[in-house]
Amino acid sequence: NAGVMQNPRHLVRRRGQEARLRCSPMKGHSHVYWYRQLPEEGLKFMVYLQKENIIDESGMPKERFSAEFPKEGPSILRIQQVVRGDSAAYFCASGGQEYEKLFFGSGTQLSVL
């Protein structure tokens, strides 16, 4: 049973470009969370999704950021018109039920030049 798969592992973008981060949850999991982590900081919650629904996006910046978890395929975190401040590690986690533990992917390191 494969774990949570995130790709790409590293992503380099120039200012103004778009970044698309993908997350395939563990088989059978229908809950996906996205977190952002800066050096020496904890994990900052961004968004919680279930299949085809955004449950809580209180941690997402109001502009340029969006997330989806379609009926088929991976969850996508999309950042439009990236700026240097978007450089960070982005982690995805999945779970089977709301109260259960989350399994994390290896993360995508986004670098904005």
Partner 1 sequence: EDQVTQSPEALRLQEGESSSLNCSYTVSGLRGLFWYRQDPGKGPEFLFTLYSAGEEKEKERLKATLTKKESFLHITAPKPEDSATYLCGGKGSNYKLTFGKGTLLTVNP
- Give the footprint of partner 1 on this chain (CB under 8 A): 4, 31, 33, 35, 40-45, 48, 55-56, 58, 91, 93, 98-107
Closest approach, Cβ 50 to partner 1, in A, equals 10
CB nearer to partner 1: pick between 53 and 80: 53
The DSSP symbol for 16 reads: T
Residues of 54-90 as b/e, b for ≥16 C-beta within 10 angstroms? eeebeebeeeebebbbeeeebbebebeebeeebebbb
Q: For partner 1, which is the closer residue by CB, 25 or 107?
A: 107
Least distance between partner 1 and beta carbon 101 (Å):
5
In Å, what is the CA distance from 31 to each residue of 18, 21, 35, 55, 86? Answer: 25, 17, 13, 10, 24
Instruction: Compute the least distance from the CB of residue 44 to partner 1, in Å.
Output: 8
- Closest to partner 1 by CB, 82 vs 102, is 102
The CB density around residue 100, as the number of other CB atoms within 10 Å, is 10
Least distance to partner 1 from the beta carbon of 16, Å? Answer: 28
